[in-house]
Structure 1
């Protein structure tokens, strides 16, 4: 088996939960999508953008401790808890690290769990052309559960699961057809996601300051012509005062004389424009008619190329 990372199968957004005997429902975890590759000797971890993350999650490199397969590709979500609930901000504390000493220190401060929900390859054979029902059964036979590795449960009652997601303020649910194949680098309505709250990755094109320290981000998305459009301000969320101070230093070499947006942002009079190099995950309630975010909240900075932050047709969902 030659370890070559692939782009995983993705769900499409929906407002209506699909129903039928062939549908099952899973919690959508607020973490980072990671595929695990094991060729019988080496274990490698890659995220959905094909960036290697093996070093960041050493708990998962001894694959034999949680899987009996001689070779395998697993698909799942790495999560970390904050106040007893999955937190994207918490898992990003691990995901961004590149220094082994820091990783060893932070792994005790931010324990992770790998929530496995699919399998692409097992014991020398691709199983992507098998049904989801078969693949889930295979996972149950080969995965050994431990404190860092769990299988994502599937439920038949979508309404009850959705109520649970609402009650615990979780990200949402994923609806899956048990007959569905695993289509690499693809998405279709065999997998559908319904979000309790919405989020996206945006580009930072400017900031505002208070007492010389950044206190809000001016956000944008690119259109298909490559132009950056303003979509809102965000000054609340999970950033601490130390994060704002660090960001104030980071933006210094990025300052521009003119705004990078094609449209005029609100409160632009006091804005400091910067080169659109920084990307951030934003949670929000909905889009306004003017294509700006309602109640945007900062979740974490991410290692995503600004060019990938493009307006998608299903973002209104």
Structure 2
């Protein structure tokens, strides 16, 4: 188990925030899932898919000094904070670096924090202990520093934490049953994530008619008008009719699914999730933006 790839326990999707004294509630951090392994002075980091990435994060040596246990395996989220909140793209930037000089520069421009939310192993495995026991153990062996810290959590009060995370523009929360065991490579209803819908202005790149949907895009620093999803819900019949009349003069090429158009129209949508490649999931149409310039539809995070 130690210094070998481990597939962590996964969360299921919850419908909405709730209060329950049988649960603890944690912030949903926006970074990479990381498994940290330590024994003595040796410390290694693996991704959830088993990739060894220790060389990308020199901060691990400092993190190891804050771990009081001689031997440990932790389940963490690797994040980079900007303006007090984690920014996924900043941590992904660190994860892409392989040149040692660029990594050393990034220690100052994109400093990493490992947020620890579970302990799987010390001098023995703790998978069959309750979450409450593992949290106690975690608090006893990890000091909070700029590079590593136990995640905050509250007992019972999921709704209040959800609203606080929304105010701070975080992703949402995770609810975990207090008596839950740690089940490797398992998606369990004992852990539930609840995210809130976010609003964003997007460029319309094309459309589909069966069923009706808009292919939407965003501008990134290195890519213009990148497709980021399809929105099919939230349209009124008059929205569709008006769009199909206006768009005739903008049609370009057509493929099997999509009629592509000149990127000159914008709309506002809400979305629930975003993948690692910036694809937006669970999208809802909220209205056309006739005065919005397409180049203003940017991914800001």
1:280 pairs, out of 253, 277, 280, with: 277
Q: Distance in 2 between matches of 1:297 and 1:284?
A: 17
Distance in 1 (CA, whole Å) between partners of 2:7 and 2:282 is 29
CA shift for structure 1 position 161: 0.7
Q: Name 1:127's counterpart in structure 2.
A: 126
* Offset, 1:73: 0.5
Q: Equivalent residue for 2:43?
A: 43
Report if the CA contact (8 A) 1:281-1:298 is conserved.
Answer: no
32-41 or 142-151: which moved more?
Answer: 32-41
Q: Tell me the residue number matched to 2:72.
A: 72
Q: Deviations over 1:115-169 (max 9, x none)?
A: 110011112x110110000000000111122111111111121121111112112
Q: Residue 92 of structure 1: CA displacement?
A: 1.4
1:52 is displaced (CA, Å) by 1.6
CA distance in 1, matches of 2:180, 2:214: 36
- 1:5 paired residue number: 5
Whichever of the two has the greater Rg, that structure is: 2
Ranges in structure 2 where 5+ consecutive residues have no aligned partner? 207-212, 227-252, 264-275, 286-296
Does residue 1:234 correspond to 2:233, yes or no?
no
Residues 39 and 172 from structure 1, CA distance in 2 versus in 1: closer, same or farther, beyond 3 angstroms? Answer: same
Q: TM-score, normalised to structure 1's length? A: 0.68
Q: Is the 8 A contact 1:284 1:297 kept in 2?
A: no
Correspondences of 1:149-188 after superposition (within 5 Å): 149-156=148-155, 157-188=157-188
Q: What number of residue pairs does the alignment pair up?
A: 243
Give, in angstroms, the shift of residue 18 of structure 1. Answer: 4.5
Find the counterpart in structure 2 of residue 146 from structure 1. Answer: 145
Structure 1 unmatched runs, 5+: 199-214, 220-229, 248-257, 270-278, 289-295, 301-317
Residue 53 of structure 1 corresponds to 53
- Checking the alignment, whether the CA contact within 8 Å between 1:165 and 1:196 is kept in structure 2 is no
CA distance in 1, matches of 2:300, 2:7: 24
Task: Tell me, in whole angstroms, the C-alpha distance in 1 between the residues paired with 2:30 and 2:170.
Answer: 8
Alignment deviations for residues 278-309 of structure 1 (CA, whole Å, 9 cap, x no partner): x7123466257xxxxxxx97588xxxxxxxxx
Residues in 1 aligned to 2:300 and 2:95: alpha-carbon distance in whole angstroms: 14
CA apart distance, 1:53: 1.6
Determine the C-alpha separation between the residues in 1 that align with 2:69 and 2:183. 22
Pairwise CA distance, 1:266: 3.8
